[in-house]
Amino acid sequence: MNLSVNLTKQTGTDACAAGAAPVLYEFFRKTPSRNYFGAGVFELLGYDPADSDFDRTQGWASLLHPDDVALFAQHRNQQATNDANQRLTFRLRHKDGNWITVEDCATIHELASGDVVTSGCLTRLGPTQTLCSSDGTSHTLQKGGNLHKRLLNSLAEGVVVHDAAGTVVEFNNTALEILGLTGDELCRKTVPETPCTFVREDGVPLTRDELPGKRVLATGDREYGVVLGVNRPNGEFAWIRVNAEPLHNEQTGTFDGVIVSFADINDVKQAEVAFRERELLYRQMFSNTTAINILVDPADGQIVDASRAAEELYGFADGGLVGRTIPDLDVDGAPSMHRHVSAVLEHGALSFVVQHRLGNGEIRKMQVHAGLIELHERKYIHTTNVDITEREHYERMLKDANRKLAEERQRLDEIIWGTSAGTWEWNVQTGETRFNERWAEIIGYTLDELGPVSIDTWLAYCHPEDLEKSDAALQSTFRGETDHYQCECRMRHKDGSWVWVLDRGKVVEWDADGNPLRMSGTHADITPTKAVEAEIRRLAQTDQLTGLSNRYQFNSMLSQIIQINRRFEKSIVL
C-alpha cells in the first residue's frame, strides 16, 4: 500500500513504546466505495468489521472531533501532489462515545485515472503522548526509537521492500509467516530466487516476469488487488491479495524500488469457493429436474432464468422463456402479477393458482409455489409451477364417480331396507366379517352388542344341527358346483327362541389359484313362513275334529315303515 512509501524513511516519535499498534487505511477521493480499512482500524475504534453503522465511504469525516474538522479539512482537501507526506494529530470518536487521540502518517498520491488516494497509518496516543502537526503547532513529545521498523512488524499485512534492482532489502515478520519463509531465505534475494512458487487464480503458474513486484519494476505503474496462490516450501498452499507500489527518492524523484504488501485471504477464497459450490448446487437443483422452475425479477416481472422442464412445457420457439415477462404468460395480465408479487414480497412465500398461456396458445391451469430468494445482493422470486389442468380434470371425474357411487349405494340401501334383509360380507381367508344393523336386529341385538364381529359370531348363533348343512352348501359353492350359496338355518334369538333365516350369498372375489377370497350375501327372516308351513303340515296330517292323525298321516307312516323293512329284508304283519 502507498503507506509504506512514507515509512521507509520516516523516523520520529515511537508511539508503539506505550503499547499502541499502528493500523492501515486507504481512501479514494473520487471512488469512496473502494475505501479500505485494515482490521486494526475496527479494533481501534471499537467496531466489528460487519457493523452496518460503520460507513466506509465517509472516511474519518463522521468520526472527527468538531474542534479538529477545520484543521483536517485544511490539509486533506488541498491540491494533491504525488507522494505528498502529511502528519497530523486529531481526535476520533470511539464506538463507546469517548474520544481517542491518534497520530496520522499519510501519503497523498494521484492515480493515472485522476482519482486521489490517501494511504496512511493511525497510531493511538496515550495520555502523555503528543506529536507535531504539519502546520508546526508544538506539542510535547516522547522521543522513541525507530517508528518505521516497529510499524512494519505490527502490521497484519506482509510487507516486502525491493530496491531498484529487485533485491529484497526489507520485510516484516508477517511477510515471513504468510510466505512460509525464514529471514535468510528472503533477505537480499529476489522473490523468484526464494523457495516459493506462485500461481494465478486459475491455477496456471506465474513466470518471474508476471509477479506484481517485477511488473512494477518494469513499468513503474502501480499493481493493485492482484490475487495469487503461494506454494510454500513446506508444501502448504495459501491465497494472497497483493498490492505493489513504486518507490521514489524524496529528494531527486528518481525511481528507488518497489514496496509490495499482501494479505492472507484464505478465508475469503474458501468463502468464495463455498459460494460457487452453493451457486452450482442451486443451478443443478434449479435446472436438472423435472420441476418447472422459473426465476423472476420482482421489479418488472421479467423472467431471468428457467429450467429445461419449464422451457419444454411452455414451448416458446422464439428465444424461450428468458427475457419474457410474467404478464406474457398470465391470462389475467399485469394486475394478477402485481398482486402476487406484492404478497410474496410481504410474506416471503405464497402458493396460488393462475392460468398460463403456452407458446402454442393453449391455456393451462398452474399451481404456483413462489418464494423470495436473494442472489448477488438482489431479490428475486423463485417459482415452482405445477400443471394441474389434467389433475383437475381427473378430480372432476372422480367427484362424478363418487357421486354416482353414493347414489347407487343409497339406492341399494333403500332396496335392502325395503326387503328387511340383513347383509353380510366375509373375507374367507381372514375370517373378517361385516354385518349391517338389520342382520343383528333379526336375532334381537344391535351391532354394538354383538361387536367385535367375525365369522365366529355366525358360528356362535347358528343352530348346531344346521352348521353341517351350511358348511356342505358353502363347500359346494367353493368347488364351483353351484354358482351361489343358499341355506335355511336357525339362529338363536336374544330371548332364547330360534329364528329361521334364509342365508344366501355369492363369492365375489377369487385368487389366481381359484380359491375364494371374499363373499357377500343376505339374511332374510323366514320364521313366519316356517310357522305357516308347519301349520299346513299339521292340518294336512290330523283330523280337525279329534286332532288325531288322519288317513293321510296313517298312509305316510305306513309307507315309511314298509320302506325301512324292505331295506333290511324283513316282513311286516298288519
pLDDT in tens, 11-36: 333 333 333 445 578 888 888 888 88
pLDDT of residue 81: 53
Residue bearing cell 484464505? 266
Average pLDDT, the chain: 81
CA-CA-CA-CA dihedral for 322, 323, 326, 330, to nearest 10? -80
DSSP string, 109-170: EE-TTS-EEEEEEEEE--TT-----TT---------S-HHHHHHHH-SSEEEEEETTS-EEE
Give every CB contact of residue 430 below 8 A, 6+ residues apart in sequence. Answer: none
CATH 3.90.550.10, applies to 158-264? no
Among 333-347, 388-402, 481-495, whose mean pLDDT is lowest? 388-402
420-531: CATH topology is: Beta-Lactamase (3.30.450)
Nearest CA among 508, 507, 509, 505 for reference residue 521 = 505
- Confidence at 393, pLDDT banded by 50, 70, 90: confident
Q: What distance in Å separates the CA atoms of residue 407 and residue 419, rounded to the nearest whole number?
A: 18
Residue-wise pLDDT for 160-191, tens only, equals 989 888 888 888 889 999 999 988 888 777 76
Q: Is the pLDDT of residue 83 over 70?
A: no
Report the percentage of the chain scoring pLDDT > 70. Answer: 80
Mean pLDDT of 104-121: 80
- Confidence at 139, pLDDT banded by 50, 70, 90: very low
Q: SS3 of 333, please?
A: helix
277-387: CATH topology is: Beta-Lactamase (3.30.450)
Judged on CB neighbours under 10 Å (0-12, 13-18, 19+), 571 is exposed
Q: Are both 3-154 and 420-531 of the same fold?
A: yes
C-alpha of 190 from chain center: 51
Q: What distance in Å separates the CA atoms of residue 392 and residue 191, rounded to the nearest whole number?
A: 72
Rg (CA), the chain: 51
pLDDT of residue 267: 84
**What architecture does CATH give domain 3-154?**
2-Layer Sandwich (3.30)
pLDDT of residue 538: 67
Sequence ranges of the domains in the chain: 3-154, 158-264, 277-387, 420-531, 542-567
DSSP string, 236-268: -EEEEEEEEEEEE-TTT--EEEEEEEEEE-HHH
Side chain identity at residue 113, one-letter code: S
Among 242-246, 295-299, 348-352, 565-569, whose mean pLDDT is lowest? 565-569
Nearest CA among 60, 106, 104 for reference residue 83 = 106
Quick check: 259 and 237 in contact, CB under 8 A?
no
pLDDT of residue 557: 63
Task: Answer whether 0.75 is exceeded by the pTM.
Answer: no
Mean pLDDT of 526-533: 79
pLDDT of residue 528: 84
Residue-wise pLDDT for 211-224, tens only, equals 999 999 999 899 98
Residue-wise pLDDT for 461-509, tens only, equals 999 999 999 999 999 999 999 999 999 999 999 999 999 999 999 999 9
Mean pLDDT of 144-154: 58
Quick check: 2 and 119 in contact, CB under 8 A?
yes
Q: Is the pLDDT of residue 455 over 80?
A: yes
Q: At what angle do helices 551-567 and 527-541 cross, to 10 degrees?
A: 90
- Confidence at 418, pLDDT banded by 50, 70, 90: low
pLDDT of residue 22: 52
Residue 271, by phi and psi: left (phi above 0), alpha (psi -120 to 50) or beta? Answer: alpha
Q: Which residue has the higher pLDDT, 420 or 202?
A: 202
